[in-house]
Structure 1
Amino acid sequence: MSDKYGVGQDSYCYPGWTVLCNKLDIRDDSTLNDVEQMLSAVAAATLEFSPPPYNLASLQKIHRTLFFDLYDCAGELRTVGISKQDTRFCQPDYMEKEAGKIFKGMASANWFEGMSRSDLIVAVADAYSDLNVVHPFREGNGRTQRILFEHLVMNAGFEISWWGVENDEWLYANIAAYNCVLEPLQQVFDRCIGQQIQA
């Protein structure tokens, strides 16, 4: 039996189960998912805006905050290979190097500061797609990455909200981007990125 990442039994799961080991000893995937959503939402409310520079350590800090109450591995880079359907994520040995390239690219673009809204949408979709392929954590990558990109977009001077984006739409856009079709993800960010923040 495999979990949603096609891993099945690994060191992150209870022996003989595909449920991730957790501090509350929950053995049911559905219950764990519900508790995870609730606890991470509460933890997310404690995160304050953080300006650049950003790096892999920034993602790890966010992940640790979101999932510390539930997982011992919160904030730690995964050590197993994972995939979702036909989407194969970066192998652990290459994650730091690949993430470093992406953050270096964003830094060289001055963290997208001064861009028009239309240029920002394209740049953010491209960087988000690239970083999503790294998928550095065993669980909780999407929530962690969205918070980092909230900070990135706000630092660039624009409002952002994820409300109104359905899970199926989000998944479809990310799969399309993995296959080098960025338009669906750009459309998602076009809806999520709002107006310029007035000083």
Structure 2
Amino acid sequence: MPDKYGVGEDAYCYPGSTILRNKLDIRDESTLSEAEQQLSAIAADNVEFSPPPYSLGYLQGIHQVLFCDLYEWAGQLRTVGMAKQDTRFCQPSFMEAQAGKIFKGMAAQNWFEGMGRADLINAVAEAYSEINVIHPFREGNGRAQRILFEHLIMNAGFEISWWGIEKEQWIDANIAAYHCMLEPMQHVFEKCIGSPIRP
């Protein structure tokens, strides 16, 4: 029974269903989704900001904090292949190497420090899109990734807020970026990245 990611029957789900196994033993998809949203929102306050360097391990740490109350595999890299519509995410065997290249590229740009707002928007849009294709977790990628990019952008000296971005706009921007069209993602970060943080 394929789920929204097209992975079919897998060890992450209860047998014969598309419901992810969870610590609360919730067997209803909408109830699980609501619990996931609420628990991760509360847990987000426990994610501590750290300056660079950042890494896949840092992102895993964020995911662990967000979802440890719900999923046994919180913070662990997924072990199944995943696709969503016409987007195929990175295969598990390549995720660490590919993510390493992306983080190395950001390090080479000094984690975007010293960039003006326009250059930061472009750099962040590209890096966000690349990490999204890695999609390292079975669920909760977007929430963990947004916190990582909050840290990156704040460290680069700018305010960041996700308010005003509709879910469909996120989805459309990610699909476009997968097809090498970064403009919609740049528009997202144009809205999200605010003024320089005053010392």
TM exceeds 0.5?
yes
Matches of 1:57 and 1:127, distance apart in 2: 16
Question: Which amino acid is the alignment partner of residue 40 of structure 2?
Answer: S
Matches of 2:150 and 2:134, distance apart in 1: 18
Task: Provide the residue aligned with 2:36 in structure 1.
Answer: 36
Please state if 1:53 is matched with 2:53: yes
Matches of 2:194 and 2:48, distance apart in 1: 20
Task: Provide the residue aligned with 2:63 in structure 1.
Answer: 63
Task: Provide the residue aligned with 1:10 in structure 2.
Answer: 10
Give a deviation string over 1:125-177, Cα, whole Å, max 9, x none. 00000000000000000000000000000000000000010000110001000
**Counterpart of 2:58 in 1: which secondary structure?**
helix
Superposed displacement of residue 47, structure 1 = 1.4
Superposed displacement of residue 50, structure 1 = 1.3
Matches of 1:30 and 1:10, distance apart in 2: 20
Give a deviation string over 1:100-127, Cα, whole Å, max 9, x none. 0000000000000000000000000000
* Structure 1 segment 116-131 matched on structure 2, within 5 A: 116-131=116-131
Task: Provide the residue aligned with 1:161 in structure 2.
Answer: 161
Task: Provide the residue aligned with 2:87 in structure 1.
Answer: 87
**Counterpart of 2:79 in 1: which secondary structure?**
coil
**Counterpart of 1:107 in 2: which secondary structure?**
helix
Superposed displacement of residue 4, structure 1 = 1.2
**Counterpart of 1:54 in 2: which secondary structure?**
coil
**Counterpart of 1:195 in 2: which secondary structure?**
strand
Task: Provide the residue aligned with 1:197 in structure 2.
Answer: 197
The unaligned stretches of length 5 or more in structure 2 are none
Superposed displacement of residue 8, structure 1 = 2.3
Question: Which amino acid is the alignment partner of residue 187 of structure 1?
Answer: H
Aligned-CA RMSD value: 0.5
Matches of 2:101 and 2:176, distance apart in 1: 22
Task: Provide the residue aligned with 1:140 in structure 2.
Answer: 140
Superposed displacement of residue 46, structure 1 = 1.5
Please identify runs of 4+ aligned residues in structure 1 that moved more than 6 A: none
Matches of 1:55 and 1:78, distance apart in 2: 17
Matches of 1:130 and 1:72, distance apart in 2: 27
Task: Provide the residue aligned with 1:171 in structure 2.
Answer: 171
How many pairs were matched up? 199
What TM-score results when the alignment is normalised by the length of structure 2? 0.99
Over the matched positions of the two proteins, sequence identity in percent amounts to 71
Question: Which amino acid is the alignment partner of residue 73 of structure 1?
Answer: W
**Counterpart of 2:40 in 1: which secondary structure?**
helix
Matches of 1:138 and 1:47, distance apart in 2: 20
Superposed displacement of residue 45, structure 1 = 1.2
Superposed displacement of residue 48, structure 1 = 2.0
Question: Which amino acid is the alignment partner of residue 111 of structure 1?
Answer: W
Matches of 1:142 and 1:157, distance apart in 2: 22
What TM-score results when the alignment is normalised by the length of structure 1? 0.99
